[in-house]
Amino acid sequence: MDYGYDTGCNSDYSSSAEFSEDEDKVLCTCGCNRKVTVRSKNRHLRKARRLAAALALNNPTILANSGNMEVEPMPAGEENEEPNEEEMHGHAPDGLFDASQDVFMNNNHEEELSDAPSSNGSWNELGTPPPSPPPLPSDSENEISSDDEDGYQHITAEDYREYDRWYAEDRQDELDEMIIETLTEEEMDSIKMMAIRQFGHISMRNYERIRYSFRNKIRLLSLQRLKTRVETLAGFKPENYDCCVNVCHAFTGTRSAAESCSMCGEPRYDGKGAPRKSFQYIPTIPRLQAFFNNPALIRKLSYRHEYPEEDGAMNDFFDSAMYKDLRKRNIIVDGEDLGVKFFSGKYDIATSILTDGVQIFKKSNQENATCWPIMLQILNLPPTDRSQLRNVVPLCVIPGPNQPRDFDSFLVPFVAECKKFARGVETYNTLTGQTFLLRQHPVLVGGDMQAIKHFEQMKGPNAKVPCRGCLGVGCYHHGKRTYYIPLSEPLSADVPTNTTNSYDPLALPLRTEANLARQLDKMERAPTKTGYEELAQKYGIAGRSILDEIPSIKRPTSYPHEFLHLWLLNHGPNLVALWSGKYPGITNSGCEDYLISPADWAEIGCETEKATNLIPSAFSRSLPNIQTSPHLYCGESWSFWLIYVGPVVLRGRLKKKYYDHYLELVSILKCLLDYANTTERIEQLREEIAGYVVRFEEYYYQYNYDRLAVCRLTLHALLHVADDVLRCGPVWVYWSFLIERYCHEVLACANSKVLPWQAIQKFVLQLAQLSTVSARFSEVRKALLFGTGDAPVQTSRMEHIYREYPETILRCPRLPGFFIQPNVRRRLAGFFRTNDRRRTFHQWLQSIPERCERWGKLRVTDGGDCIRSASATNALSSYGKRDASFIKYEYDEDKNLRNNKEIEMIKVFGYGRLDFILALTLPAAPEFGVDEPQFHILAHITEAKDARGDASIERISYTKLGRSFVLDITSVKHVVGRVETRGEKVGGEWVIVDRSGSLCPTVFHQEEEGFEDDG
């Protein structure tokens, strides 16, 4: 059954003028009070008449008065329901949702219309059908015919003609109305519950418990019926492909007819002829078509087309050189030039392919108990939407427990679909009411080095040319039996003053599409397999990639280095291991002095752990002791420590030369994470990274053969990051935070210890189906929300917005009759006197009421910070363990206050503690020109003494708190954190951690942050 996802099939009928696309909707007179199309109105009225007739048959009184009977208006929401069993024959007993009922209703949902016999005539010339044979006697007088039988008994010639018109024309709005009307309230509730179960990881047993426990409150379908209904609404089914039992390869392409694995020899089928292992591919065409059934999603998908082009900007993929180059090229599929340029259509979709290997069982008896989820990220969506799990497009999960030896064989169905998409797939657009050719182009491939090694078919660290970005030849280490790739070869131990061969970090021999193609041609012309392998080792290429067949993907252009694994999970931890003397194979500092003493490391670890209590939870998760538990750090933790905590706790403990070198790394990370960048800044960044890597080798590698292990491939890859940004866009476009979160969901559903792959495939399939269904039904989409940050309401019951302060949300606790203490009254009077000198200090003091409202928390609208004042912070509670009371505030100050020059007011940033929030109303004062009462929300602040400036760009610290004062609540800008350290001052100091700059937050579970976690 087709639910409006146009697959490109052309109709054999042409639309008539009577049923044109611009037909206006009319108000339905059946009683539903909705505007529907004319035919939908007629259908409603027929159903109302049938309902009235059915009721009359069961009520002789109604039948006797039928001459004067009028059709009752149907209640809203019930106009689509036929008389069911309970209406016709009494109410069914509560709670009897047994298996027989499930099977009966399930059969009703799966019933499909049989194909009509072919005819050369028109439906309008339908002759009288031949008489039907007499019906068989019923087994029981009370036997009830099914809904399907009843429906067929009432089919008339007019129904046939209407059926012909419905399916002969592109009337998507009417089809949508019909589908919505057939989706009952019970089914809608069940689908929403399915979405909650999906992401809440509620087991089948617990779902049935919920279904039974609340059977008198809400009716939920059984999981089997629900699965069938959602599959029908989604409009697609998965494609199953056999694969080797050892996951060597899939039986696709040239191996589709093979009976055994071509690599390990294992048979494909078991003794009963069933495949021993299979994997599931989920088609993308119907799912992306479903997006165009949702007007809100269609508008969001226009982000690419409406993206403003700004010369020199580098703020998204659409500023990259690759995107601009693609838009100038024609689409070529299998050698055929289609004569259409990439992204020439308004709704052409750009996607990135993401994958990662997931270890399912942490303590598995198999070392490689992994699977490989593969998904698409839609780059057409705005950045805040493209990173949400409900908008991902799952493709497949390559099962484990072993790593696939032929990764390409599992991508055959995806590549085939990409070719179809490149040619264009006819799709209906609900927003415009017209069909168009939808094209989807994968442009980027993201993942860690192991994943890219499989996708790009590169040799990796074991090759003589290990880098996928350039042709730099590695230096072989005989002890470790691997290649390293320093810029300069190690000096000879006999003649240490000699110079060695070296690469210019700003002029590396880059790989290009042309030289890669030449190397592949040489490999394929090799006369023997041994010769082929020798060339593969020499060039660092394993062979051709099936992704090369996708017109929009080119090697190596489409394979940028990924930020999370490169910087945060490799280079950062390696640097810390060097400082602590725990780097594998290198336990001393050689001729340098970069090691930090154990005593200092102990203090660094303690200060890092204690800093958690002074840093809001919105900034980062809890930071473990970095000395004793560095293995507990994830990408988010490493990012926050390297950028914000490390510069504080390392100061005074790491020698200045190495500390300054580390600050170069911090500057590089901040630049890469900046929301707004320019090509000029990235060109400058290339030089900064080159200088950083050169000094890194000088300080830590020291051109010593025994220290060659410091020059890992991950260090060399840093030199290519600036080029990747210019070519593919900012690092956040293709980083792996989304695939990591997706894999986290996959891991949570792998509860089966025997068949985990099937459980994972089922979860991924249901995720895809729910995403597709939610694109059509907004109520289902609301059930896919993640955290209160996506909540459709602006405020909760514990929050309040005053009309005078629309951008400020006050939050409980609230004390309505707060008595204003004398010292607070004086500060209030001082604030009003400073801003309005028409009254004296004492006049202002007298005008302040005795009592007012006191609020404990503050939230800034539009994704602003959540701030918990000191009065609402209880150190003994769980929320009080994360202090969110320190703020960054703004005020006006005379620039020439101390030099007797003319007054010049400037904006100044300060830092301090938010004590509490006051909301008060000042009475009218006509004698001072105030005719109406004035409402104010004020912040009572205790300043951090001498903490002035902008801590987001410079180091700001304080040793004690200063005076208290009052500012308008709009002066409060952001929440900040603090780190206490004794690295330089014996008595200690607090350094401000200000995250209010334009850096992109590297938060792993950003959407799951609730407002109540702000403390």
Measured between alpha carbons, how far is 440 from 291 in angstroms, rounded to an integer?
13
pLDDT value for 71: 42
Query: Which of 132-141, 610-619, 886-895 has the lowest average pLDDT?
Result: 132-141
Model-level pTM? 0.79
Domain boundaries, the chain: 1-86+149-182, 235-457+737-749, 799-1013
Range of lowest pLDDT (22-26, 195-199, 747-751)? 22-26
| Whether pLDDT at 7 is above 70 | no
Three-state DSSP state, 85:
helix
Whether 6 has a pLDDT exceeding 50, the answer reads no
Buried b (16+ CB within 10 A) or exposed e, 560-573: bbbbbbbbbbbbbb
Task: Of 137-146, 276-285, 824-833, give the lowest mean pLDDT range.
Answer: 137-146
Least confident of 245-254, 363-372, 402-411, 951-960: 363-372
Q: What is the pLDDT of residue 17?
A: 36
pLDDT tens digits for 452-478?
888 999 888 778 899 999 999 989 888
| SS3 of residue 668 by DSSP | helix
Q: Looking at residue 977, what is its pLDDT?
A: 94
Q: Compute how many other C-beta atoms are within 10 angstroms of the C-beta atom of residue 966.
A: 21
What pLDDT is attached to residue 55? Answer: 64
Beta strand extents in 261-355 (DSSP E only):
278-281, 330-333, 336-341, 349-355
Is the pLDDT reported for residue 906 higher than 50? yes
Q: How confident is the model at residue 160 (pLDDT cuts 50, 70, 90)?
A: low
- What is the arithmetic mean of pLDDT over 428-440? 93
Query: Taken in order 446, 448, 453, 458, is the CA torsion positive or negative?
Result: positive
pLDDT averaged over every residue in the chain: 81
Which has the minimum average pLDDT: 67-76, 644-653, 950-959? 67-76
Residues 632, 294: Cα–Cα separation, whole Å: 42
pLDDT of residue 105: 37
Is 90 exceeded by the pLDDT of residue 300?
yes
Mean of the pLDDT values across residues 22-50?
69
Neighbours of 455 (CB within 10 A): 23
Residue 167 has pLDDT above 80, yes or no: no
Mean per-residue pLDDT for 379-384?
Answer: 92
Give me the mean pLDDT over the 834-842 stretch: 88
**pLDDT higher than 50, residue 912:** yes
What is the full DSSP assignment across 398-418? E--SSPPS-GGGGGHHHHHHH
* pLDDT tier for residue 9 given thresholds of 50, 70 and 90: very low
Output the CA angle 511-514-518, nearest 5 degrees: 100
Using alpha carbons, select from 887, 916, 911 the residue that is nearest to residue 974.
887
Whether the pLDDT of residue 359 is over 50: the answer is yes
Banded pLDDT at 422 (limits 50, 70, 90): very high
Strand-pair category, 475-477 with 482-484: antiparallel
Is the link from the previous residue into 556 a cis peptide, with omega within 30 of 0? yes
* Position 100 pLDDT exceeds 50: no
Which among 651, 724, 663, 730 has a CA at the least distance from the CA of 998? Answer: 730
In 3D space, the residue among 891, 909, 984, 987 whose CA is nearest the CA of residue 952 turns out to be 909
> What token pair was written down for 752?
């089966």
Q: Write out 482-498 in H/E/C secondary structure.
A: EEECCCECCCCCCCCCC
pLDDT tops 50 at residue 691:
yes
CA–CA distance, 1014 with 882 (Å, rounded to integer): 8
Instruction: Evaluate if residue 554 carries a pLDDT over 60.
Output: yes
